[in-house]
Homo-oligomer: A and B are copies of this chain.
Amino acid sequence: MSEIMTRSIQDYLKHIYELNEYGSAASTNDLAARLNIAPASVTGMLQKLANSKPALVVYKKHQGATLTRPGEKAALEVIRHHRLLETFLVTTLGYSWDEVHCEADKLEHVISEDFEARMAKALGHPTRDPHGELIPTADLVMPADKSCPLASLRTDDTATVRRVSDDDPALLRHLRKIGVVPEVKIVVKSYSEFDGNLTLQVEGQKLNVVLGKAITSQVFVDK
| A-to-B contact residues, CB < 8 Å | 92-95, 99, 102-103, 106-107, 109-112, 114-115, 118-119, 122
What are 23 pairs between A and B in contact, CB < 8 Å? A92-B92, A92-B122, A93-B115, A93-B118, A93-B119, A93-B122, A94-B118, A94-B122, A95-B118, A99-B114, A102-B112, A103-B111, A103-B112, A103-B114, A103-B115, A106-B110, A106-B111, A106-B112, A107-B107, A107-B110, A107-B111, A109-B110, A110-B110
Q: A92-B92, A94-B118 are in contact. List 14 more A-B contacts (CB 8 A).
A: A92-B122, A93-B115, A93-B118, A93-B119, A94-B122, A95-B118, A99-B114, A102-B112, A103-B114, A103-B115, A106-B110, A106-B111, A106-B112, A107-B110
- The chain B residue with its CB closest to the CB of A109 is B110
> Cβ of A94: which chain B residues have Cβ within 8 Å of it?
118, 122
Report whether over half of chain A's contact residues are helix, strand or loop; otherwise say mixed: helix
Question: How many copies make up the complex?
Answer: 2
> Cβ of A115: which chain B residues have Cβ within 8 Å of it?
93, 103
Task: Report the separation of the CA atoms of residues A39 and B38 in the bound assembly, to the nearest whole angstrom.
Answer: 36
Task: Report the separation of the CA atoms of residues A107 and B94 in the bound assembly, to the nearest whole angstrom.
Answer: 19
Task: Report the separation of the CA atoms of residues A107 and B107 in the bound assembly, to the nearest whole angstrom.
Answer: 7
Task: Report the separation of the CA atoms of residues A210 and B103 in the bound assembly, to the nearest whole angstrom.
Answer: 47
- The chain B residue with its CB closest to the CB of A95 is B118
